[in-house]
């Protein structure tokens, strides 16, 4: 979106004088400013109020002194309440010079100019250029993107932050309790504190207390399928799902990818992935996900989010998917890339404070609010290590709470070395979180350190204690192992249940489940390696087997 030019407002009740000042202003300043006119004081004041409501930038007001309904000094004084930083210049005749000089002190005008100002090159432009240069140096342009106004400790506000960040939608967060700008904007839009969180888009439209689906529609993200039949539907937009979508679309398959949250899965929340091939300095999970999403869409894949598949059934060989809104989609093949979700920490206070200081995963959107505070991380895997390194940039101290003696058994060596050399990260071995405390937000954690229980103040707690497959909705259709992971290929053949369900003349393909034409890839598949590179590889391999299945 192109930023609007700042405004110069010219005011005079004499039409000839007004035409002359507007002409001269346009000749010199129209390249960088919009020139707006008003033919009376009340009209000018109404214009200024309208500019304020639209959050326009008013740089300069040039107003005549002798106007019958509202004199220039009165207008400029009133304007200062609405635009305190705008430069204010009084146009005056020789007889009013003394009043103009007094107004510079009493009304805090910036300058006065005598009429006539001919030639403008000598008597008008130099003064205005100086004033506009001073205004530009002090001016902070208004943010023109999406704004999210809410309460810092609101779980819904946190969810919306993560949603916007996950789709790489640039937004400005405003805390209603601490920002007078936020309070003014909420009132101007006709809402109150009970309507928060409030999302205001770049065009000025607002939606109060939105669901993620409503926000997606508001932002133009597709939430409904464009077709009734597809060659392949990919369920889940983690690295494996995005890879499947890229290869499916690039190889001519009519491809749909469905994601219930945001692209990238757990990898998408990673602050920095440093062991992915081809990126020697690393990249964030959100960046990787957005690149892959953009690539899939460019190649012809259709992306549906946030949308959830609630049921899958087979009819005459076709797979029929039921979505969360009740609509149905038919497809010839399915690739399940549903990934995993974080395991919850079962201690007192966790459910009550989730999203209000307690977070599962990296919660990158909350990192800046941890400035100069103590934060705690539970878990010793790579995700925990990456989060610790990221949070250490902002937090005063980062404590990693682990049950074991060290990180060697569960974290990559490069991360262990980085943590060791980061002075504000401290490892707490042989430790467990016993309780989280606070009223409306997290205030403290109670830790058992090898038998010694202590209560410590905490700004945030980030939990990384393993994951479980997101397969609850499909386990009644396909065979899973005892932990809920999807069995495919040779692992499926080795399962005792295989012989009772597989009725094909061939054996299942390497990534095929017990239902022909339904494949699985990524972290939710039994035996998968929990690495981004392997997930991408499996997603692309799945499309190879989809082709073989469709060619039968």
Reported as a single tens digit per residue, the pLDDT across 502-518 is: 999 999 999 999 999 99
Per-residue pLDDT of 109-144, as tens digits, reads: 888 888 888 899 998 999 999 899 889 888 877 777
**In angstroms, how far is the first alpha carbon of the chain from the final one?**
50
What pLDDT was estimated at residue 106?
65
CATH of domain 146-218: 3.40.30.10
Say if residue 1's pLDDT is above 60. no
- Nearest CA to 471 out of 287, 312, 270 is that of 312
pTM, two decimals, is 0.73
Q: Do domains 229-337+468-550 and 350-465 have the same CATH topology?
A: yes
Taking CB atoms within 8 Å and a gap of at least 24, the contacts of 23-32 are 24/117, 24/120, 24/124, 25/62, 25/128, 27/120, 28/120, 28/124, 28/125, 28/128, 29/128, 29/132, 32/5, 32/6
Report the 10 Å Cβ neighbour count for 341.
18
Per-residue pLDDT averaged across 407-434, rounded?
A: 95
Q: Domain 7-138 is of which CATH architecture? A: 3-Layer(aba) Sandwich (3.40)
Per-residue pLDDT of 144-178, as tens digits, reads: 789 999 998 898 998 899 888 888 788 899 999 99
Weakest-pLDDT range from 187-191, 253-257, 263-267, 293-297: 263-267
Residue keyed to tokens 């009550």 = 352
What pLDDT was estimated at residue 219?
81
- Nearest CA to 188 out of 200, 197, 177, 178 is that of 200
Higher-confidence position of 103 and 150: 150
Q: Is 9 exposed, middle or buried (0-12, 13-18, 19+ CB in 10 A)?
A: buried
| Domain range annotation of the chain | 7-138, 146-218, 229-337+468-550, 350-465
Per-residue pLDDT averaged across 471-493, rounded?
A: 95
Compute the mean pLDDT over every residue in the chain, rounded to the nearest whole number: 91
Say if residue 470's pLDDT is above 90. yes
Looking at CATH, the fold of the domain delimited by 350-465 is given as FAD/NAD(P)-binding domain (3.50.50)
What pLDDT was estimated at residue 53?
84
Say if residue 390's pLDDT is above 50. yes
What pLDDT was estimated at residue 421?
95
CATH of domain 229-337+468-550: 3.50.50.60
């Amino acid at each position: 979106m192109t930023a609007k030019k700042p405004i110069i407002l010219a005011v005079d009740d004499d039409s000839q004088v007004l035409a002359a000042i507007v002409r001269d202003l346009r000749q010199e300043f129209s390249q960088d400013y919009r020139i707006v006119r008003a033919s009376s004081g009340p009209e000018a004041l109404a214009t200024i109020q309208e500019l304020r409501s639209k959050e326009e930038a008013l740089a300069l007001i040039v107003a005549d002194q002798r106007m019958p309904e509202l004199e220039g000094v009165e207008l400029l004084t009133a304007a200062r309440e609405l635009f305190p930083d705008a430069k204010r210049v009084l146009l005056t005749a020789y007889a009013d010079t003394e009043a103009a000089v007094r107004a510079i002190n009493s009304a805090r005008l910036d300058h006065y100019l005598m009429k006539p100002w001919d030639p403008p090159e000598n008597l008008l432009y130099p003064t205005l250029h100086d004033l506009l240069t001073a205004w530009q140096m002090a001016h902070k342009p208004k943010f023109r993107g999406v704004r999210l106004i809410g309460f810092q400790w609101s779980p819904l506000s946190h969810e919306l932050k993560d949603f916007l960040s996950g789709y790489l939608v640039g937004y400005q967060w405003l805390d209603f309790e601490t920002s007078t700008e936020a309070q003014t904007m909420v009132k101007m839009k006709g809402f109150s504190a009970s309507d928060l969180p409030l999302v205001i888009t770049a065009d000025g439209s607002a939606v109060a207390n939105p669901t993620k689906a409503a926000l997606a529609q508001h932002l133009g993200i597709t939430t409904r399928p464009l077709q009734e039949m597809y060659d392949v539907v990919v369920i889940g937009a983690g690295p494996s799902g995005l890879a499947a979508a890229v290869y499916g679309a690039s190889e001519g398959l009519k491809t749909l990818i469905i994601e219930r949250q945001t692209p990238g899965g757990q990898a998408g929340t990673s602050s920095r992935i440093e062991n992915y091939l081809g990126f020697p300095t690393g990249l964030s999970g959100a960046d990787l996900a957005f690149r892959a999403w953009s690539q899939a869409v460019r190649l012809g894949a259709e992306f549906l989010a946030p949308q959830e598949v609630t049921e899958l059934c087979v009819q005459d060989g076709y797979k029929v998917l039921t979505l969360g809104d009740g609509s149905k989609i038919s497809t010839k093949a399915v690739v399940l890339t549903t990934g995993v979700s974080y395991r919850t920490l079962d201690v007192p206070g966790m459910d009550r404070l989730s999203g209000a200081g307690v977070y599962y995963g990296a919660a990158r959107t909350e990192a800046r609010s941890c400035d100069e505070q103590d934060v705690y991380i539970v878990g010793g895997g790579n995700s925990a290590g990456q989060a610790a390194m990221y949070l250490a940039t902002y937090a005063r101290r980062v404590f990693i709470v682990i049950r074991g003696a060290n990180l060697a058994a569960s974290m990559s060596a490069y991360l262990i070395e980085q943590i060791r050399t980061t002075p504000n990260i401290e490892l707490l071995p042989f430790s467990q979180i016993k309780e989280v405390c606070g009223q409306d937000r997290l205030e403290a954690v109670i830790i058992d350190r090898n038998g010694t229980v202590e209560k410590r103040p905490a700004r945030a707690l980030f939990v990384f204690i393993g994951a479980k497959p997101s397969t609850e909705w499909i386990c009644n259709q396909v065979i899973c192992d005892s932990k809920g992971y999807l069995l495919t290929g040779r692992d499926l053949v080795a399962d005792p249940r295989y012989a009772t369900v597989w009725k094909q003349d061939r054996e299942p393909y390497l990534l095929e489940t017990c239902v022909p034409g339904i494949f699985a890839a990524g972290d939710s598949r039994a035996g998968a390696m929990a690495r981004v590179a392997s997930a991408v590889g499996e997603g692309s391999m799945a499309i190879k087997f989809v082709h073989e299945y469709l060619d039968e």
